[in-house]
Amino acid sequence: MTTRTYATRASSYLHRSPRVRLAGLLSVPMVWLLLAYLGSLAVMFAAAFWTTDSFTGVLIHSFTWDNFHTLVDQPVYRRVALRTLGIAVAVTVIDAIIALPMAFYMAKVASPRWRRLLVASILTPLWASYLVKAYAWRAMLANGGVLDWALKPIGLHGPGFGLVAVTMTLAYLWLPFMILPVYAGFERLPDSLLEASADLGAPAGRTFRSVALPAVFPALVAGSIFTFSLTLGDYITVKIVGGKTQMFANVIYDSIGVAANLPFAAAAATVPVLLIVVYLTIVRRTGALENL
Amino acid sequence: MRAQRSTVYRATAVLGVLAVALAGCGSSSSSKSAAGTSSGGTSGGAAKVPKVAMLDKVGAGEGALNIIVWAGYAEDGSNDKTVDWVHPFQTSTGCKVNVKVGNTSDEMVTLMKTGQYDGVSASGDATLRLIYGGDVAPVNTSLVPNYTTIADFLKVKAWNSVNGQMYGIPHGWGANVLTWRPDKVTPAPDSWSVVFDANSPYKGKVTAYDSPIYIADAALYLKATKPDLKITNPYELDATQFKAATDLLTTQKGIIGEYWSDYTKAVSALESGNTVVGTEWQVNDNLVNAGTKAKVESTVPKEGSTGWSDTWMVAAKAKHPNCMYEWMNWITSPTVNDQVAEWFGEAPAQTKACDVAKDKTFCTTYHALDPAYAAKISYWTTPVKACGDSRGNTCMDYAAWTTAWTTIKG
């Protein structure tokens, strides 16, 4: 009986004090957010100002800008950062170009039965492991692989391993992340708007430009955030199909895995963070984030 | 929307303050940690080796053993039921083995620094860092009976000893061989020039090993082809020699098709013909030749080769030193050393392993008993500032090598 009364007393106390109730409800997620999530980010940025003993790899905890100087002074890091940015933009544009007609067809043209099938077929690649898909592309892009075989009749051959291969593979890997938001965007667009545009005499192209595209733009932006940021952080695909090229995440990875230089890796990690922040700022300017 | 935005700004501000505060905290403790590491020193080889006590007799096992190993060095039958030398060890010594696989030499060094392990199978590019970092203890070889029959050309070498004192027990070794597809590459090359010459006919189909330590391969080639540089040891390069080696690699990038670090990738590239010539491990070639897709041939070219030689080392603060000594003796016993070497694809350090080898051609394939072959190999060694000769502390250390490697890949 006593437990019951304790429970009753506790619950009536909570009932009377909404602030305690709120604190109890939010404290765990807040601790998680502040300590585990923001805290680890803060530790990372703090570590960027330290350095290591170059021989034994022991951390030296004294404040220095050296890592950032190296990042700025060495042209190689700028080159790799620009290449990575280029790949991220290319992947985003390719995915957008493929996703727009695909999502439009799924949302507006296909019968409900076909629509379900198409959505399922876009989702199925997500069930397979990232590595399996990347290695599948390695096999396809390899010498005498599927691409070489398919292009042979028209006198061409596949791109081989390198930048093009990386862009293709990443565009394939992140395509569902672009199609799904755009598809949802088209679904929300009422058919009547398209009909009204047609009734007023607009040709298909004009309807697309002036009615459909503005309506799905926020969805396109949402998708682009995925494709852009996922590409910026990728270092495995380039290891598998990149041949001799490297991306910025490889620089970070090698700083830890090869050089055992955690502080420099932390400093390098601020570069993609900065790129994403710039990208999000540009995106916010367009007002797309408010309409998501 | 405004309220949300200000929350975001506030969170960012908090994050910034937190970061600065943390960096500040760090600087207050800097004096202590800097003093602690001064013995390791940035000057590398010129630094003193920290004094660490050596075991003088092997007592009863402690019942457990925590080791860091290369994949394939401590098999317990989970990959292949017939490949198991961990369970028999546990039965005979009572030491329960906990295995941690290290993926790179650098990862092994980092793991050893945690002090949670009793030993490690370290390659030559990790050993000196461990010795000078005070992370490993000298090894009393008289307590490891099987040490006596280890190949003589592996004893007391630059990568496993300091001032004549062994810091570990040699385990096995191999060369990075020049490999080619005989159906695509004719005539058969006998020089590394085929992978370094900017006008190589195999442009775009050449492979190289994706690691800073590969700079030594270029240095080894220059040692033979550019005597003016006076390179004596490909791991002891002063600024001029180092620049020549990295320049050569930058030129080489033009003819490279792919850099490899994962051996399965190297195997598939050879099979598909994306790679027709380049540096490989013997085990890669064996895997290709075991399949049906392609055949490859390999050699140690006239300039010699780089290679690895692995050493079992005991942690300075090992909690189970007796079990570690038992393990070092176990892993270098003829039968077990043969099992490991055959499974991994390298030459066993134990000369008697060849007598018990299941595959009779095995020791010939890997040149296990061939000191002349072994002498053509420049084993991976950690590059340090001290050149080891009259040049003093003017050589490029491993940190410089890693930075250079990133720049070469561009």
**Other beta carbons within 10 Å of B198:** 11
pLDDT in tens, chain B (410 residues): 444 555 555 555 555 555 555 554 444 333 333 333 333 333 344 567 888 888 888 888 899 999 999 888 998 888 778 889 999 999 999 999 999 988 778 788 888 988 999 999 999 888 988 998 889 999 999 999 999 999 998 999 888 999 899 999 999 998 999 999 999 999 999 999 999 999 999 999 999 999 899 999 999 999 999 999 999 999 999 999 999 999 999 999 999 999 998 888 899 999 999 999 999 988 788 889 888 899 999 999 999 999 989 999 999 999 999 999 999 999 999 999 999 998 888 899 999 998 888 888 888 888 888 888 888 899 998 888 888 788 888 999 888 898 899 999 98
Q: Which residue's entry shows tokens 């892993």?
A: B331
Q: Which chain A residues contact residue B14 at CB under 8 A? A: 38
Q: Which residue of A has its CA nearest to B257?
A: A243
Does pLDDT of A12 surpass 70? Answer: yes
Contacts (Cβ under 8 Å, ≥6 apart) of A140:
A146, A147, A158
What would the two tokens of residue B266 be? 């190297």
Which is more confident, A278 or B18?
A278
- The whole-angstrom separation of Cα B188 and Cα A59 is 48
By the CB < 8 Å criterion, does A127 face chain B? no
By the CB < 8 Å criterion, does B384 face chain A? yes
- Beta strands B64-69 and B119-122 are parallel
- The whole-angstrom separation of Cα A76 and Cα A83 is 11
- The whole-angstrom separation of Cα B233 and Cα B399 is 18
- The whole-angstrom separation of Cα B223 and Cα B396 is 17
Judged by DSSP in three states, B19 sits in helix
pLDDT cut 70: percent of chain A above it: 96
From B154, B130, B164, select the one nearest B332 (Cα to Cα): B154
Closest Cβ opposite residue B402 in set A62, A161, A258: A258
CA distances from A121 to A106, A135, A136, B98 (A): 12, 20, 18, 44
Q: What is the model's pLDDT at position B12?
A: 55
Cβ–Cβ gap A161/B24 under 8 Å:
no
**Other beta carbons within 10 Å of A290:** 9
Q: Where does residue A81 rank: exposed (0-12), middle (13-18), buried (19+ CB within 10 A)?
A: buried
DSSP state of B57: S
Q: What is the model's pLDDT at position B37?
A: 33
Cβ–Cβ gap A53/B37 under 8 Å:
yes
Interval A123-171: pLDDT, tens: 998 989 999 999 999 999 998 888 888 888 888 888 889 999 999 999 9
Q: What is the model's pLDDT at position B237?
A: 95
By the CB < 8 Å criterion, does B60 face chain A? no
**Other beta carbons within 10 Å of A255:** 23
Judged by DSSP in three states, B222 sits in helix
Q: How far is CA A285 from the centre of its chain?
A: 20
Q: Which residue's entry shows tokens 């990959």?
A: B79
Q: Which residue's entry shows tokens 């075989």?
A: A149
By the CB < 8 Å criterion, does A43 face chain B? yes
Q: How far is CA A104 from the centre of its chain?
A: 22
Q: What is the model's pLDDT at position A239?
A: 92
Residues 163 to 222 of A: which have CB under 8 A from any B CB?
none
What would the two tokens of residue B66 be? 């925590």
> Which 3-state string (H, E, C) describes chain A?
CHHHHHHHHHHHHHHHCHHHHHHHHHHHHHHHHHHHHHHHHHHHHHHCCCEECCCCCCEECCCCCHHHHHHHHCHHHHHHHHHHHHHHHHHHHHHHHHHHHHHHHHHHHCCHHHHHHHHHHHHHHHHCCHHHHHHHHHHHHCCCCHHHHHHHHHCCCCCCCCHHHHHHHHHHHHHHHHHHHHHHHHHHCCHHHHHHHHHCCCCHHHHHHHHHHHHHHHHHHHHHHHHHHHHHCCCCHHHHHCCCCCCHHHHHHHHHHCCCCHHHHHHHHHHHHHHHHHHHHHHHHCCHHHHC
Interval A23-52: pLDDT, tens: 888 888 888 888 888 888 888 888 899 887
Q: Which amino acid is at B93?
A: T
Q: Which amino acid is at B126?
A: A
Q: What sign does the dihedral B265-B271-B275-B278 (CA atoms) show?
A: positive
CA distance B274 to chain A (A): 5
- The whole-angstrom separation of Cα B94 and Cα B223 is 50
Closest Cβ opposite residue B107 in set A58, A138, A257: A257
- The whole-angstrom separation of Cα A190 and Cα A242 is 43
By the CB < 8 Å criterion, does B33 face chain A? yes
Q: Which chain A residues contact residue B27 at CB under 8 A? A: 61-63
Q: How far is CA A180 from the centre of its chain?
A: 14
Q: Which chain A residues contact residue B254 at CB under 8 A? A: none
Give the pLDDT band of residue A66 (cuts 50, 70, 90): confident
Q: What is the model's pLDDT at position A118?
A: 94
Interval B246-298: pLDDT, tens: 999 999 999 999 999 888 889 999 999 999 999 998 878 888 988 889 999 99
Interval A191-246: pLDDT, tens: 999 999 989 999 988 998 899 999 899 999 999 999 999 999 999 999 999 999 99
Cβ–Cβ gap B132/A55 under 8 Å:
yes
The mean per-residue pLDDT over the stretch A70-92 comes to 94
Asked if A91 contacts A231 with a C-beta cutoff of 8 angstroms, the reply is yes
For chains A and B, what is the number of CB pairs under 8 angstroms? 154
Q: Which residue of B has its CA nearest to A242?
A: B258
Q: What sign does the dihedral B387-B393-B399-B400 (CA atoms) show?
A: negative
